Structure 1
């Protein structure tokens, strides 16, 4: 097994070689593309976040990213399903525990009053399902907040000036003189 110092040395070696192997292939164009100020809506990110807060997925619709709406609802629906299921199981074991404490029969009783589950097992089941229910609630809140943040960030990034003429290509070549591998990064700008 490789020690962390060896791994660190290997990573540093490749980083140094990448830095040394780069050549001045980057040509910067003198023409600067001006962003149309009318196309920028400074309130778009906050509007998208507001819409997502009111109704999950509405901010994604506002951003015209319709394909994200089923993902939002699938994530929220799954976490809500697990919350409801864990809550029902918690209530089921809690009711059985309360009935058992009062000496009344419950659904986990066996024949002749012999319990399938002991008092401790019922308590452990309640604790487990309560923790799972609470975790499901936290996950649901997290997904809800995440879809709000995603809508806002997406609306903000849609206003960025991006062009398709830029490409980034990492490559590894063999140096013909030393016969060693050389890593490099090529950044191309087509106009």
Structure 2
């Protein structure tokens, strides 16, 4: 009885294995295209720059580089804050100096001499001018970044071209030489 059961179990397992091992023979083999044609839109960088010019950060969103948007608004917002704050302080010192010349000295600024009021005006005037240039500079940098990033998205980057740092020992001086190797595989 045990022999019959073990022979039956063996035939059952062999039969199931052979059934699962059979493959579909009428399958059609398809070749894989490793060189896919990528459509390049020459207007993509111009669109990204235009979007960033309309609303700062919109070009970065168009390029799907969402992590850059807080950087754009942080840089422009900080510069704009310093522009407004320095402009307000410049106007305060200017008004205090003008009221002192008119004969109505401001009690908040009695501890400052005329030359100190003039120096404070010049200091804050210079700072609000620089802050204004920074606001404009970050705005332009935002547009340039969106344009360049959109152009580089279309650039073909693959593993055939690589740039690696290399440290090799010098046999004469026994010091390490640092260099870069450029490899291109065909």
Shared fold by TM > 0.5? yes
Please say if 1:163 is aligned against 2:126: no
SS for the counterpart of 2:74 is helix
Alignment of 1:138-157 (within 5 A): 138-157=133-152
Q: List per-residue Cα deviations over 1:36-74 (Å, max 9, x = no partner).
A: 35x211000010000000000000000000000000000
Question: Structure 2, unaligned stretches of length 5 or more?
Answer: 1-33
Question: Structure 1, unaligned stretches of length 5 or more?
Answer: 1-32, 110-114
> Partners in 2 of 1:165 and 1:78 — Cα distance?
42
SS for the counterpart of 1:93 is helix
What's the counterpart of residue 40 of structure 2? 40
Compute the displacement of 1:107 (Å): 4.0
> Partners in 2 of 1:100 and 1:71 — Cα distance?
43
> Partners in 1 of 2:181 and 2:161 — Cα distance?
11
> Partners in 2 of 1:35 and 1:74 — Cα distance?
40
Compute the displacement of 1:188 (Å): 4.0
Aligned length: 152
Which of 108, 112, 117 in structure 2 is aligned with 1:117?
112
SS for the counterpart of 1:168 is strand
Please say if 1:130 is aligned against 2:162: no
> Partners in 1 of 2:53 and 2:36 — Cα distance?
30
> Partners in 1 of 2:113 and 2:170 — Cα distance?
73
Compute the displacement of 1:123 (Å): 0.9
Residue pair 1:48, 1:151 contacting (<8 A) in 2 also: yes
Structure 1 121/66 Cα, relative in aligned 2: closer, same or farther at 3 Å?
same
TM-score, structure 1 normalization: 0.71
What's the counterpart of residue 13 of structure 2? none
Compute the displacement of 1:171 (Å): 1.8
What's the counterpart of residue 60 of structure 1? 60
Structure 1 107/78 Cα, relative in aligned 2: closer, same or farther at 3 Å?
farther
Q: Which has the larger radius of gyration?
A: 2
SS for the counterpart of 1:53 is helix
SS for the counterpart of 2:108 is coil
Higher RCO, 1 or 2 (CA under 8 Å, sep at least 6)? Answer: 1
What's the counterpart of residue 106 of structure 1? 106
Compute the displacement of 1:174 (Å): 3.0
